[in-house]
Amino acid sequence: MAHDFTGPPETAGSAASRAGLGHELRSATSLALDSLFSHKLRSFLTLLGVIIGVASVILVGSAIDGLGIYAEQSTAKAFGSESFLIAQIAQAGNQTRRQLFDKEKYNKELKLADIRYLQSINGDTMLYSPYRQITTDTRRESLTSEDTSILGAFAELAEIRDIAMTAGRFFTPTEEVSGAYVAVIGDDLRTALFPGGGSPLGKTFKIQDIDFVVIGTLERLGSVFGRSQDNSAYIPYTTFSRLFGPGRSIAIFGRPRPDSSVTMQQGLDLARVALRTRYHEKPGEPDRFDVLTPDAIRGFIDNLLSMVAAVVVPVTAISLVVGGIVIMNIMLVSVTERTREIGIRKSLGARRSDIMLQILIEAVILAFAGGALGVGLGAAFTAILSSVFEVTLRVTWFYVLLSVLVSGAVGVISGWYPASRAARLDPIVALRAE
**Per mean pLDDT, which range of 83-87, 134-138, 268-272, 318-322 is the poorest?**
318-322
* Nearest-5° Cα angle at 269, 263 to 270: 90
Dump pLDDT digits (tens) for 411-420: 888 888 887 8
Q: Give the distance between the most distant pair of CA atoms in the chain.
A: 104
Question: In this predicted structure, what is the pLDDT of residue 3?
Answer: 47
Q: Which residue has the higher pLDDT, 337 or 1?
A: 337
CA pair distance 347, 99, nearest whole angstrom:
78
Report d(CA 179, CA 201) in Å as an integer: 19
What's the whole-model pTM score? 0.69
Mean pLDDT of 320-344: 79
Helices (H), 4-149: 12-37, 40-79, 97-106, 112-122
Helices (H), 161-285: 173-178, 187-193, 237-244, 264-278
More confident residue, 170 or 411: 170
186-238 pLDDT, tens digit per residue, is 999 999 999 988 899 999 999 999 999 999 999 988 776 667 789 999 999 99
CA nearest neighbour of 240 among 179, 186, 192:
179
**Would you say how long the chain is, in residues?**
434
Burial annotation 5-16 (CB, 10 A radius, 16+ → b, else e): eeeeeeeeeeee
Residue pLDDT, tens place only, 8-24 = 555 544 554 555 556 56
Tens-digit pLDDT profile for residues 250-285: 999 999 998 888 999 999 999 999 999 999 999 889
Taking the C-alpha atoms of residue 386 and residue 395, their distance in angstroms, rounded to an integer, is: 11
Cβ contact 268:254 at 8 Å: yes
Least confident of 119-123, 290-294, 364-368: 364-368
Distance (Å, whole) CA 416 – CA 108: 67
pLDDT for residue 179 is more than 70: yes
Q: For 6-64, what is each residue's pLDDT tens digit? A: 445 555 445 545 555 565 667 667 766 777 777 788 778 878 888 888 888 888 888 88
Window from 126-130, 149-153, 315-319, 407-411 with minimum mean pLDDT:
315-319
